[in-house]
Copies of this chain bind each other. A is one copy, B any other.
């Protein structure tokens, strides 16, 4: 099953067919403990950044499953994987990072389809994480994922369910031709907005 999940990730699209990702499978308790320590340190800093109600709620949230999950996967981006000049990356150096995220999203969707839960942990000092995992300078740890079977899946995103932040109305995220133009001026766009409003309301 893990083979299917990783293969789905590896079949993500990538700029210049660069395939810049690597999948570091972490099962070692020693490494996981090191990562958990980095999380705890950063998370304490993060908790201080929220005020009153939000700070209280923040501290109740489950933001990692590093030790609890049997498998952690660090998905990295190797910017040198396809040499110095990459088709499609000539004018936007972030394109290799974006490609790596396509692999992350494929992996998360494939895992969910297999009934496996994933959590993306992002609260680390990334320089310290790189050091802990021996990553070379030109390699970026894009996503640190915890994988495992879960007691249940939320029907809605966890942060929505606990009242952290609401889902935005999809029709309000749409613009036409230029920034800030949200008025449709033709039937096609109006029909689309009507459909999106129907979808927002039925959620």
Instruction: Give A contacts to B, CB under 8 Å.
Output: 2-3, 6-7, 10, 12-13, 15-19, 21-28, 31, 42, 45-46, 49-50, 58, 61, 63, 76, 82, 85, 87-92, 94-95, 97-98, 101-102, 104-106, 108-109, 120, 122-126, 133-136, 139, 142-143, 157, 159-160, 164-165, 167-168, 170, 173-180, 186, 188-189, 192, 195-196, 198-199
Say whether, besides A123-B90, A170-B7, A108 and B13 are in contact (CB < 8 Å).
Answer: yes
Give the copy number. 2
Pair A164/B87 contact, Cβ less than 8 Å:
yes
**Chain A: interface secondary structure?**
mixed
Taking the closest CB of chain B, its distance from the CB of A83, in whole angstroms, is 10
Known contacts A13-B108, A26-B177; 9 additional CB pairs below 8 A are: A10-B173, A13-B120, A24-B177, A31-B178, A61-B87, A89-B122, A90-B123, A91-B124, A133-B179
Closest B residue to A122 by CB, please name it.
B88
Give Cα A19 to B142, complex, Å: 18
Say whether, besides A15-B122, A174-B25, A175-B25, A98 and B134 are in contact (CB < 8 Å).
Answer: no
Pair A178/B123 contact, Cβ less than 8 Å:
no
Give Cα A2 to B135, complex, Å: 41
For this complex, 22 residue pairs linking A to B, each with C-beta atoms less than 8 Å apart, are A3-B196, A3-B199, A6-B174, A6-B192, A10-B173, A13-B105, A17-B164, A19-B173, A24-B176, A24-B177, A27-B177, A46-B90, A63-B87, A88-B123, A91-B122, A92-B124, A97-B97, A97-B98, A98-B101, A98-B104, A98-B142, A105-B106
Pair B134/A178 contact, Cβ less than 8 Å:
yes
Contact for A176 among B15, B25, B95, B165, CB less than 8 A: B25
Pair A196/B7 contact, Cβ less than 8 Å:
yes
Residues of B close to A174: CB separation below 8 A: 6, 22-25
